[in-house]
Amino acid sequence: MTDAVEEKPVGGMPPAQAASVEVQPVQFGEVGEGRPAAGGGTPLDQMLDLTVTVTAEAGRATLSLAEVLALTPGSVIELAKSIEEPLELQVNGRVVARGEVVVINDRYGIRITSLGEKG
């Protein structure tokens, strides 16, 4: 009994044509070589118009429902943060900076003192 070797097509080509395929190395572009996005400009330029939620957190407090219902104008809620601790500036819920409260033309603002989550 002899073992017959059956030739099978490679990549959908008959065996005779598969042997004559020319293989070339892949060539990649330079890193940082960006292509303009379909709408013009780079992808980053298009992202600059996205709207994000920015939140400044001065502190937090945990109250019972009874305490919340007992609040009246003039009530004071003590926050679990000391006055020396910086405010946290959050973008979409993630801390991106810390700062201190400033008043500008009768409005509150934040002066950024450090960037990053660890601040």
Which of 1-10, 48-57, 83-92, 100-109 comes out lowest in average pLDDT? 1-10
Alpha helices in the chain (DSSP H): 15-18, 43-47, 65-69
Q: Among 117, 50, 114, which Cα is nearest to 86's?
A: 114
CB atoms within 10 A of CB 95: 15
Find the CATH number of the domain harbouring 84: 2.30.330.10
Structural domain includes residue 15 = no
User: Has residue 107 been placed in a domain?
Assistant: yes
**Least confident piece of the model among 14-18, 93-97, 101-105:** 14-18
Residue 64: other Cβ atoms inside 10 A: 8
Task: Give the pLDDT score at 62.
Answer: 94
* Domain membership of residue 102 as a residue range: 51-119
* Per-residue model confidence as pLDDT tens digits over 27-86: 766 665 555 555 566 777 778 888 888 898 888 899 999 999 999 999 999 988 888 888
What is the tally of structural domains in the chain?
1
Contact 52, 91 (CB under 8 A): yes
Let me know if residue 99 belongs to a domain: yes
Reported as a single tens digit per residue, the pLDDT across 15-26 is 555 566 777 787
Q: Which residues contact 56 (CB under 8 A, 6 or more apart)?
A: 87, 88, 89, 90, 99, 110
